[in-house]
Amino acid sequence: MKDNPLIQLLLVFVPLSFLSVGGGQSVIADMHRQSVTVYGWMNDAQFLNLFALSRMAPGPGSLLAALIGWQVQGWAGAATAAAGIFVPSSLLVYGLAKLWARYRGARWQMAVEIGLAPVAAGMILATSCVLLRSTEGGWLAWAVALLSTALLLFTRLSPFVLLGGGALAFLLWF
Amino acid sequence: MEPDAAKPEPHLGLWQIFSTFTKISLTSFGGGLSGWMMREFVQNKRWLTEKEFLTGLALAQAFPGVNVVNLSIWVGYRLRGGAGALAGAFGMVVPAMVVAVCLVAVFDQLARFPLTHVILAGVAAAAIGLSLQMGIRAARRAVGSLVSAAVMTATFLAIFVFGFPLLPVVAVMAPISVAAAAYRLKNAG
């Protein structure tokens, strides 16, 4: 059974589902170790290609797991790996959401909601600044990012237009 | 305190939930998925209040698992119970997975053109704006007292300037902030 690649994918990704705390970034190093060293599904260069593509593709960055699965066993592998990384932690959050609905309006819940808001705000601002710091394209990227922030704050412009505008600005410049 | 607007909307169809999540997932380049979600669910469709959304966001980050998938489950559940959670998570993950796999399949063709990289960088820069406007809105709303302003600033500095991992930061800041809020609520009667 241990030789079945689909089982191996589950053995790799189910534990990582519970370990990926604070975003998918934290478990990527371990995905690399298992895919390349432990199971030998691919070499370093192949892993890095998949990693870059998972950043470029839309959707959650952790779809890297699905790409690894695809490399191992086609669509069945992709679906198995995605289920492995997403389902276990999802069940936990589902339980939490249920609990939350049951005690709606309780004072402790109001305190949690009020108390978590500034923590969330600080996290979002920090994430934005980390992204801004790591951006490629220098001042142009900053200008595009800040302009798009202002437009989103003060207009109801569709984000599609902004993304297209960002692409256009870069195209015209380079 | 506003009346509880968290009641699941009875008229929302599962297909409507699924397709909204799919749209968000497939149009989110360069990260910032939660920014898209907030814009769509809170500002455009008004299916959730900002406070409900931010609570879900903080809990989704603090729990193990992939943040945006956690958040999709949370939002989906608020919209239409267990079936809504399933529709939200599937809408977020499955179509994007198909696109990502197809992208890998055509990777060699795409990567040959330098223009591909330029376009992606431009899209990514504009996408940062989404994250930032969301942070600004959240900050405006969250900062109601000296304590909450201090909590927000400390959280920001810990992550951005000092580069601490998210989990210990949340593990320290959240209890302090919640305790302070509970104290204020108790005093307010």
Looking at residue A26, the DSSP 8-state letter turns out to be G
Range from A137-146, A162-171, B2-11 carrying the lowest mean pLDDT = B2-11
In this predicted model, which residue has the larger pLDDT, B110 or A100?
A100
- Nearest CA to A11 out of A37, A32, A36, A39 is that of A39
The pLDDT tens digits of the residues spanning B156-172 come to 999 889 888 766 787 89
Range from A27-31, A36-40, B97-101, B155-159 carrying the lowest mean pLDDT = A27-31
What is the helix (H) or strand (E) element at residue A149, kind and residue range? helix A138-154
* Dist. CA B134–CA A129, nearest whole Å: 12
What pLDDT score was predicted for residue A77? Answer: 96
Q: Are B34 and B71 in contact (CB under 8 A)?
A: yes
Out of B65, B118, B158, name the one closest to residue A17 (CB): B65
Query: Which chain A residues have a beta carbon less than 8 Å from that of B142?
Result: 117-118, 120-121
Q: Which B residues 20-79 touch A at CB under 8 Å?
A: 25-36, 39, 51-52, 54-55, 57-61, 63-70, 73-74, 77-78
What pLDDT score was predicted for residue B31? Answer: 57
- Nearest CA to B22 out of B97, B77, B74 is that of B97
**A11 Cβ partners below 8 Å, 6+ apart?**
A2
Q: Does A157 touch chain B if contact means CB atoms closer than 8 Å?
A: no
* Dist. CA A13–CA A48, nearest whole Å: 18
Inform me whether the pLDDT recorded for A6 exceeds 70.
yes
Inform me whether the pLDDT recorded for B48 exceeds 90.
yes
Alpha carbon distances (Å) from A150 to A156, B21, B128? 11, 25, 11
What pLDDT score was predicted for residue A135? Answer: 73
Inform me whether the pLDDT recorded for A81 exceeds 90.
yes
Q: Are B125 and A145 in contact (CB < 8 Å)?
A: yes
In this predicted model, which residue has the larger pLDDT, B99 or B159?
B99
For chain B, the structural domain boundaries read 1-141, 143-189
| Six token digits for residue B185 | 């609520």
Q: What is the average pLDDT across B3-22?
A: 75
Q: What is the average pLDDT across B94-110?
A: 84
- Nearest CA to A8 out of A82, A91, A81, A85 is that of A81
Q: Which B residues 111-130 touch A at CB under 8 Å?
A: 115, 118-130
For chain A, the structural domain boundaries read 1-102, 105-134, 136-174
The pLDDT tens digits of the residues spanning A44-65 come to 877 877 877 777 778 887 888 9
| Distance in Å, alpha carbon of B13 to nearest chain A alpha carbon | 19
Residue A33: pLDDT band by 50, 70, 90 thresholds? confident
Looking at residue B9, the DSSP 8-state letter turns out to be P
Is residue A58 classed as helix, strand or coil in its secondary structure? coil
The pLDDT tens digits of the residues spanning B62-89 come to 777 777 899 999 999 999 999 999 999 9
Neighbours of A39 (CB within 10 A): 16
Q: What is the average pLDDT across A104-122?
A: 86
What pLDDT score was predicted for residue B152? Answer: 93
Q: Provide, rounded to the nearest whole percent, the portion of chain B with pLDDT above 70.
A: 89
| Distance in Å, alpha carbon of A32 to nearest chain B alpha carbon | 17
In this predicted model, which residue has the larger pLDDT, A19 or A63?
A63
Q: Which of A27-36, B26-35, B152-161 is most confident?
A: B152-161
Q: Does A1 touch chain B if contact means CB atoms closer than 8 Å?
A: no
* Dist. CA A147–CA A37, nearest whole Å: 45
